[in-house]
Structure 1
Amino acid sequence: MSDLFPPRARTLPLFPETPPHVVRVIDVETAGQRLEADAVIEIGSADLDLLTGEIGSAMETLVDPAGVEINPHARRVHQISDEMLEGAPPFAEAVRPFAGAPVYAAQRAEFDRSRLRLPGRWLCTYRLALRAFPGVRAHGLQSLVKYLPLDLSDVRPRLEALHPHRALYDALCTAVLLREIARVLMPRCADLADFLDRAERVSAEPALLTKLRFGKYKGVPLGEVPADYLEWLIREPGMEADAVFSARYHLDHPKIRGLRAAPDLPLA
């Protein structure tokens, strides 16, 4: 991982500040309609203390979608029905208890952030997991739970009454994932503040893919894709941002060329 998240020298600042060490890990479920007509129908969160690894302060609420019906496919995934939402608080009221955290994290932070509109720093565990665990076969939340695998023992009592794709279930699993990401990546940082700064920057960048998702080299580790193909991909108009970012990264970091599932890739 030394080229995907290079180690940073530890130096003592002249005027140290105390960085936030509790992250509110959050997840939303929506009605699953087209983006302009979509609506949040459930919010769940759990707080992760990055210093101790403790996960607590779990919260969850259903949300009144203001007349937006749940898409049948979305209903099959999260198993929330329109009837379950009767009497739920409106969004403005439901989101209030989740506000006020200095740092938030979500598996697809761009999605959750755009719907919750909560101010603060945001970390994306999907993009961070690509840096921390490049050798895992897939980086969706349940894939990481299965293939890392994640140790869910301390949150399992809460999970037993839930199921995947409900907001609190996914928030608790994501909190465990972020704890594991921090365990792997934080030793490469100068301190907690450095980790948060670098994690926030990576979370705002396009995803650093481990494999191409299309074309003649679909499924091939990017380190094994010929350089001339990566150069063509960068020049091709309309190419997706994640692919262009990842191709340019591999060309700019020749040390990772030809490596399959390297155990370490740099945060930044």
Structure 2
Amino acid sequence: MSELFPPAPTTPTLFDEPVSFIVRVIDTETAGLRLEEDAVIEIGSVDLDLVTGAIFNPMQTFCDPGGAVISDGARRVHQITDEMLVGAPPFSDAVKPFNTETYAAQRADFDRSRLRLTGRWLCTHKLALRAFPNVRAHGLQSLVKYVPLDLSSVDQMLAGLHPHRALFDAVCTAVLLRRIAEELTPHCHDLSDFLERAEKVSNEPALLAKLRFGRHKGIPIREVPTDYLQWLVAEPEMNADAVFTAKRQLALRQFRGERAPPSANG
């Protein structure tokens, strides 16, 4: 587990800086267009106390899309209609109550780029790849099913909602983050160390358990031939997650002096 969740370098300080262990787990639903044309139409969040595991303070709001058209694909997923958005506040007002110090989201790069909230961000998708590398799939509802996650403690928060609505997904993501912390914190010095490591992992490309394309698609990364990993690293414009994963696996094999898997050509 140490190579999956390595220590993060820290900067020594002369002053004690209080650390909050309350994480605002947040999710957004959007019009479904490209980032530069996209519009947030719903925000949902809950707070997770990493010390006690309590999930509380549910918040949810619609946002006026500001003239952006909701794509048919996005509408089929989140089922938010134009009528539901009538009278919703503009995004600039709707987002203000969600401001805090530490956030988490299942695909944090997506939510962070659209919400533009400053602070520490944790990506539960990237963390789940470290905590549960052998789970069949790492989408949110796949993790709920295959980890599996016990949602019984948040049944009341989920009542009347469905997957791909902002509050529903935020609640499930909070349960996921709680389970990730249970898995990874024993490998850390304390919760502060967990947060430092989690932030570092969240700012890196995803460390894949399996490749998502090519001749070795779906094969555990430890079984992919070394020469194929070397090709991935050298290939221009290759997917960043694949390159990062290949580099890490090659370095791990070199460090361990392991015998390489058979050649891709052999």
Length-normalised TM-score, structure 2? 0.91
Q: Distance in 1 between matches of 2:229 and 2:37?
A: 37
Can you list the C-alpha shifts for 1:195-240, whole angstroms capped at 9, x where unaligned? Answer: 1111001000000001111111111111000111101110111101
Q: Unpaired segments of 5 or more residues in structure 1?
A: 259-268
CA contact (8 A) 1:22 1:103 kept: yes
Alignment partner of 1:102 is 2:105 = no
Task: Report what 2:161 is aligned to.
Answer: 162
Pair 57,2 (structure 1): closer, same or farther in 2 beyond 3 Å: same
Once the two structures are TM-superposed, the CA of residue 98 in structure 1 deviates from its matched residue by 0.3
Q: Which amino acid aligns with 1:128?
A: L
Once the two structures are TM-superposed, the CA of residue 36 in structure 1 deviates from its matched residue by 2.0
Can you list the C-alpha shifts for 1:42-64, whole angstroms capped at 9, x where unaligned? Answer: 00000000000000000000000
Q: Secondary structure at the match of 2:153?
A: coil
Q: Which amino acid aligns with 2:242?
A: A
Once the two structures are TM-superposed, the CA of residue 37 in structure 1 deviates from its matched residue by 1.4
Comparing 127-136 with 16-25, greater Cα deviation is found at: 16-25
Q: Name which structure has the greater RCO, CA cutoff 8 Å, separation 6+.
A: 1
Q: Distance in 2 between matches of 1:220 and 1:162?
A: 36
Task: Report what 1:122 is aligned to.
Answer: 121
Task: Report what 1:218 is aligned to.
Answer: 217
Q: Secondary structure at the match of 2:212?
A: coil
Once the two structures are TM-superposed, the CA of residue 18 in structure 1 deviates from its matched residue by 3.1
Task: Report what 1:92 is aligned to.
Answer: 92
Q: Unpaired segments of 5 or more residues in structure 2?
A: 260-266
Task: Report what 2:246 is aligned to.
Answer: 247
Q: Distance in 2 between matches of 1:154 and 1:256?
A: 46
Alignment partner of 1:57 is 2:30 = no
Can you list the C-alpha shifts for 1:158-192, whole angstroms capped at 9, x where unaligned? Answer: 11210000000000000000000000001111111
Pair 32,14 (structure 1): closer, same or farther in 2 beyond 3 Å: closer
Can you list the C-alpha shifts for 1:111-165, whole angstroms capped at 9, x where unaligned? Answer: 0000101111000000000000001010000000011110111111111210000
Can you list the C-alpha shifts for 1:57-99, whole angstroms capped at 9, x where unaligned? Answer: 0000000000111111111110101111010000011001101
Q: Secondary structure at the match of 1:215?
A: coil
CA contact (8 A) 2:205 2:241 kept: yes
Report sequence identity in percent: 67
Aligned residue runs from structure 1 range 1-268, under 5 A: 1-6=1-6, 17-99=17-99, 101-254=100-253, 255=256
CA contact (8 A) 2:103 2:119 kept: yes
Q: Which amino acid aligns with 1:31?
A: A
CA contact (8 A) 1:127 1:202 kept: yes
CA contact (8 A) 2:104 2:123 kept: yes
Q: Distance in 1 between matches of 2:7 and 2:245?
A: 20
